[in-house]
């Protein structure tokens, strides 16, 4: 989630959610591409659209929230127009956050978020690309992926209306096949079909549609 501030307003909108994984498996890689919508209107508060993955350590302890962010903020960068700010981060706990390098992007840009477990380092490597160009990276010791989903988060002030937007070409690769993973799907103001062609090790969603949402 976004850095938690001493805010008067804090709320989540619609989502597409999967997980938790079965006890004998974990998420090895998760990839998706967010097609950036127009900015929220009115342009209030701090809005974050993000695909995130919760993790667990082998001990059973909760790990981090691994997430890539598309942030629409009410804070203007000098005299530049308002736009989306793209970055990756990992949060071990509320109030603690590790960030990658931010990057400015525009409505219509395609932002690909890739979280991949690195066996040689025992870390998750996070990579964000905009229109095929790598713009932000981060590697953290987070444990193993336990669930993946999208979020729409608003802080500090009512973020108004968020346009319909889409995550395309989503792929979740489990360490061990789980044909029942589709049963963990949760939808709230969203649609998308979670399918597998290899018995449950690789799950794909061609198009996740997140409906237009108005914060109140």
> Tens of pLDDT along 116-126?
999 999 999 99
- Using the structure block, give the residue that is written with the tokens 């449950």: 200
Q: What is the mean pLDDT of residues 135-142?
A: 91
SS3 100: coil
pTM: 0.91
Query: In the numeric block, which tokens belong to residue 213?
Result: 């949402």
pLDDT reported for residue 91 = 58
Contacts of 77 (CB under 8 A, 6+ apart): 104
158-196 CB burial, b ≥16 within 10 A, e <16: bbbebeebebbebebbbbeebeebeebbebeebebebeb
- Residue 184 has phi, psi (to 5 degrees) of -90, -5
CATH class of 10-214: mainly beta
Give 162-177 pLDDT, tens digit per residue.
999 999 999 999 999 9
Q: What is the mean pLDDT of residues 148-158?
A: 96
- DSSP annotation of 182 reads G
SS3 184: helix
Would you place residue 87 in the very low, low, confident or very high pLDDT band (cuts 50, 70, 90)? Answer: confident
pLDDT reported for residue 3 = 52
Give 98-114 pLDDT, tens digit per residue.
556 789 899 999 999 99
DSSP string, 67-93: EEEEEEESS--TTSPP-EEEEEEEEEE
pLDDT reported for residue 92 = 54
Query: In the numeric block, which tokens belong to residue 38?
Result: 């127009």
Instruction: Kindly tell me if the per-residue pLDDT of 93 is higher than 50.
Output: no
Mean pLDDT of the chain: 90
Instruction: Kindly tell me if the per-residue pLDDT of 154 is higher than 80.
Output: yes
Cα 101 from Cα 95, distance rounded (Å): 19
Would you place residue 58 in the very low, low, confident or very high pLDDT band (cuts 50, 70, 90)? Answer: confident
Q: What is the mean pLDDT of residues 58-82?
A: 78
Cα distance between the two ends of the chain: 19
Would you place residue 81 in the very low, low, confident or very high pLDDT band (cuts 50, 70, 90)? Answer: low
């Amino acid at each position: 989630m976004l850095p938690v501030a001493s805010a008067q307003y804090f709320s989540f909108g619609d989502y597409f959610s999967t997980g938790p994984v079965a006890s004998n498996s974990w998420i090895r890689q998760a990839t998706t591409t967010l097609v950036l919508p127009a900015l929220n209107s009115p342009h209030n508060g701090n809005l974050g659209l993000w695909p995130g993955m919760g993790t667990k350590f082998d001990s059973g302890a909760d790990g981090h929230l691994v997430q890539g962010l598309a942030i629409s903020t009410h804070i203007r960068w000098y005299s530049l127009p308002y736009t989306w700010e793209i970055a990756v981060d990992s949060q071990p706990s509320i109030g603690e956050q590790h960030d990658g390098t931010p990057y400015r992007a525009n409505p219509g840009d395609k932002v690909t978020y890739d979280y991949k477990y690195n066996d040689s380092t025992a870390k998750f490597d996070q990579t964000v690309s905009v229109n095929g160009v790598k713009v932000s990276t981060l590697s953290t010791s987070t444990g193993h992926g336990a669930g993946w989903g999208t979020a729409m988060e608003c802080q500090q002030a009512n973020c108004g209306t968020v346009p319909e937007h889409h995550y395309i070409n989503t792929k979740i690769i489990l360490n061990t096949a789980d044909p029942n993973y589709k049963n963990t799907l949760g939808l709230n103001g969203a649609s998308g079909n979670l399918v597998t062609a290899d018995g449950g090790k690789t799950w794909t969603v061609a198009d996740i549609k997140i409906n237009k949402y108005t914060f109140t």
